[in-house]
Amino acid sequence: MAENLRTAHVSENGESAFGVDITVSGFEIKGDEPIESGGGNLGPAPYDILLAALGECTCMTVRWYARQQNWPLEKVEVILTHHKEGRTDHFTKDISLYGDSLSGEQREKLIEIAAKCPVQRTLEGTPVIATHKA
């Protein structure tokens, strides 16, 4: 059995050409493409959700490490961008660490830890994706 198995259910909802309903971990999200791509802009596009996942994971990883070290981190904020150049995806993460009592060394370590979040490691790795007919 797969460790930490997660399941998402995604189905077209007919609300726009590309509109979908997403159910994952008990949460419901609408997904769609922007109007300029033929969608109805009813929710985030797939790369929007991927970008948000990377940011969410980065914030949580930094927070987790600061808590483990009992460091005075007050807040983490991540602003991300994604674009393609040819077939290559480029992501940037601008990380703001709030906490006047954080030392320069602590800030450097937290930025280093931010690059080790599990979603980033997945994107940098070689995941295996199997597609089956249901």
100 part of a folded domain: yes
Q: What are phi and psi of 82, to 5 degrees?
A: -145, 135
Domain containing residue 69: CATH number: 3.30.300.20
Number of domains observed in the structure of the chain: 2
Segment 64-107, tens digit of pLDDT: 999 999 999 999 999 999 999 999 999 999 999 999 999 999 99
User: Same structural domain for residues 32 and 88?
Assistant: no
Residue with tokens 């295996």, as numbered in its chain = 128
What pLDDT is stored for residue 53 in this prediction?
Answer: 98
Residue 120 pLDDT class (50, 70, 90 cuts): very high
Name the pTM for this structure: 0.93
Alpha helices in the chain (DSSP H): 46-69, 104-114, 118-124
Segment 39-69, tens digit of pLDDT: 999 999 999 999 999 999 999 999 999 999 9
Q: How far apart are CA 57 and CA 66, in angstroms?
A: 14
User: Same structural domain for residues 66 and 2?
Assistant: no
Say if CB 113 and CB 62 are below 8 A apart.
yes
Residue 4 pLDDT class (50, 70, 90 cuts): confident
User: Same structural domain for residues 61 and 109?
Assistant: yes
Q: How far is CA 122 from the centre of its chain?
A: 11
59: Cβ contacts below 8 Å, ≥ 6 apart? 76, 77, 78
